[in-house]
C-alpha cells in the first residue's frame, strides 16, 4: 500500500486518435482537469468506432460518392451513344397493284416499291424501326425489305441480275421472330461474313402468303457456290432448334430463273452484239 504522502508518478498513455499523452491531462496526485474531458471523450469514441477496421492499403483508390455518381453518369451517356452499323440500310415496302401482283399497271415493278423515309445507320435505328413495324399486320402479297444502301429489291437491278436468294417458308406464328433474327444477321454482318470473296449481301425480305411468311436472303453472285452453301449453313446454325425449318420448306433460286425476270435492255443489247461478233 502506498503511503498517503507519497507522490504517484502519472503514466504516460497516448490517446489512439489524437496522439495526446493522457498524463498531460493529469497533475501529479490530482484528478483529471475538467478542461480535458472533451479531448479524452473524443479520443475514446474514435477508438471505439474504428476498432477492428483495417486501415486502407497504401495507394488504394478511395472513390467519393460524387465520383461514383459521375462515373455512373458517364457510363449512361456511353450507353446512349448510337452504335453505328457497318453499312447504311434502307427499308422498302411493296404494295402490289393490279391483277398481276408482281408488276404495276405500267409493267414497272419498281413503281410498286415504296422506300420508307428513315435510313438505318445504327443499332438503335434498327430497333426503333423494327419495334414499330408490326409484321403481323402486313397484308396478303405485301412485302417488306431491308436492303443495303445502293441495292434495291428488284431482280433486274443492275447489282442483282447475276444474283439469287434463299427463301424460307415460315409459319406465321414464327414469322416475326424469324424475320427479326434474319435482319440482325444482316446488319450484324453475319451473313456478309460467310460469303465467298467478291460476293456481297444485298438484303433480306419478307413476303406474306396465306398461312406463312416467305423470308428471303439475297446475294449478288449466284455463281459462287461457296456463298450459296454458306448462307444456308449460317442461317440454320444461328436459329434455335424450334425455329429451324424442314428441308422441304426452303429453296435457292437464281433471279434470272424466275418466270417474271426480264433482263435490262442494255444488257440484252450487249449480249446480242457479243453473239454477232
208 and 99 within one domain: yes
pLDDT for 79 beyond 90:
no
Q: Measure the N-to-C terminal CA separation of the chain; round to a whole number of Å.
A: 135
Q: Measuring CA to CA, how many Å separate 204 from each of 10, 29, 92, 146?
A: 92, 98, 10, 5
Q: Domain residues for 32?
A: 12-50
Helices (H) and strands (E) in the chain, counts: 7, 7
36 and 116 within one domain: no
Position 168 in a domain:
yes
Instruction: Enumerate residues 6+ apart whose C-beta is below 8 A from 235.
Output: 166, 168, 182, 185, 191, 217
Q: Provide the grid cell at 2.
A: 502506498
State the CB neighbour count (10 A cutoff) for residue 201: 25
265 and 205 within one domain: yes
234 and 182 within one domain: yes
Side-chain half-sphere of 157: how many Cα atoms within 13 Å?
Answer: 21
38 and 132 within one domain: no
95 and 38 within one domain: no
For the ranges 52-56, 63-67, 240-244, the maximum mean pLDDT occurs at 240-244
For the ranges 20-24, 96-100, 101-105, 155-159, the maximum mean pLDDT occurs at 155-159
Give the H/E segment covering residue 182. helix 175-187
Position 62 in a domain:
no
More confident residue, 5 or 191: 191
User: What is the gyration radius of the CA atoms in the chain, in angstroms?
Assistant: 38
Q: What is the mean pLDDT of the chain?
A: 78
Position 233 in a domain:
yes
pLDDT for 252 beyond 70:
yes
Residue whose C-alpha is closest to residue 222's, from 166, 144, 141: 166
- Cβ atoms 145, 214 nearer than 8 A: no
Q: Provide the grid cell at 28.
A: 501529479
Position 124 in a domain:
yes
pLDDT for 104 beyond 90:
no
106 and 39 within one domain: no
- Each residue's pLDDT tens digit, 126-148: 999 999 999 999 999 999 999 99
CA–CA separation, 41 and 35 (whole Å): 11
126 and 19 within one domain: no
Position 72 in a domain:
no
Share of the chain above pLDDT 70, in %: 65
Instruction: Give buried/exposed letters for 220-243 (b at 16+ CB in 10 A, else e).
Output: bbbebeebbebbbebbeebbeeee
β-bridge partners, 103: none
Q: Provide the grid cell at 32.
A: 483529471
45 and 176 within one domain: no
Position 64 in a domain:
no
Residue whose C-alpha is closest to residue 95's, from 78, 76, 79, 109: 109
Q: Provide the grid cell at 51.
A: 476498432
CATH number at residue 180: 3.30.760.10
Share of the chain above pLDDT 90, in %: 54
Position 74 in a domain:
no
Mean pLDDT calculated for residue range 121-129:
94
Mean pLDDT calculated for residue range 12-30:
43
Residue whose C-alpha is closest to residue 39's, from 12, 17, 11: 17
pLDDT of residue 62: 62
Position 37 in a domain:
yes
Count: domains in the chain:
2
28 and 104 within one domain: no
211 and 92 within one domain: yes
Q: Measuring CA to CA, how many Å separate 228 from each of 94, 195, 241?
A: 26, 8, 22
Instruction: Enumerate residues 6+ apart whose C-beta is below 8 A from 74.
Output: none
CA–CA separation, 140 and 208 (whole Å): 5
150 and 38 within one domain: no
Amino acid at each position: 500500500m502506498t503511503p498517503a504522502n507519497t507522490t504517484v508518478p502519472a503514466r504516460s498513455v497516448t490517446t489512439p486518435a489524437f496522439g495526446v499523452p493522457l498524463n498531460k491531462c493529469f497533475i501529479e496526485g490530482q484528478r483529471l482537469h475538467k478542461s480535458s474531458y472533451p479531448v479524452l471523450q473524443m479520443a475514446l469514441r474514435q477508438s471505439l468506432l474504428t476498432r477492428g477496421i483495417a486501415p486502407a492499403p497504401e495507394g488504394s483508390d478511395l472513390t467519393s460518392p460524387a465520383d461514383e455518381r459521375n462515373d455512373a453518369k458517364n457510363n449512361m451517356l456511353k450507353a446512349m451513344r448510337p452504335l453505328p452499323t457497318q453499312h447504311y440500310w434502307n427499308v422498302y415496302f411493296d404494295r402490289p397493284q393490279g391483277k398481276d401482283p408482281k408488276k404495276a399497271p405500267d409493267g414497272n415493278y419498281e413503281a410498286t416499291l415504296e422506300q420508307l423515309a428513315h435510313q438505318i445507320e445504327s443499332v438503335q435505328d434498327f430497333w426503333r424501326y423494327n419495334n414499330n413495324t408490326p409484321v403481323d399486320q402486313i397484308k396478303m402479297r405485301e412485302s417488306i425489305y431491308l436492303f443495303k444502301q445502293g441495292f434495291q429489291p428488284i431482280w433486274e437491278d443492275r447489282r442483282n441480275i447475276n444474283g439469287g436468294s434463299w427463301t424460307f417458308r415460315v409459319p406465321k406464328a414464327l414469322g416475326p421472330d424469324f424475320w427479326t433474327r434474319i435482319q440482325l444477321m444482316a446488319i450484324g454482318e453475319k451473313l456478309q461474313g460467310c460469303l465467298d470473296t467478291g460476293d456481297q449481301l444485298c438484303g433480306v425480305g419478307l413476303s406474306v402468303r396465306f398461312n406463312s411468311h416467305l423470308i428471303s436472303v439475297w446475294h449478288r453472285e449466284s455463281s459462287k457456290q461457296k456463298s450459296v452453301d454458306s448462307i444456308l449453313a449460317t442461317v440454320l446454325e444461328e436459329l434455335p432448334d424450334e425455329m429451324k425449318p424442314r428441308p422441304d420448306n426452303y429453296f435457292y433460286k437464281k433471279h434470272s430463273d424466275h418466270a417474271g425476270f426480264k433482263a435490262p435492255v442494255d444488257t440484252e443489247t450487249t449480249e446480242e452484239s457479243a453473239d454477232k461478233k
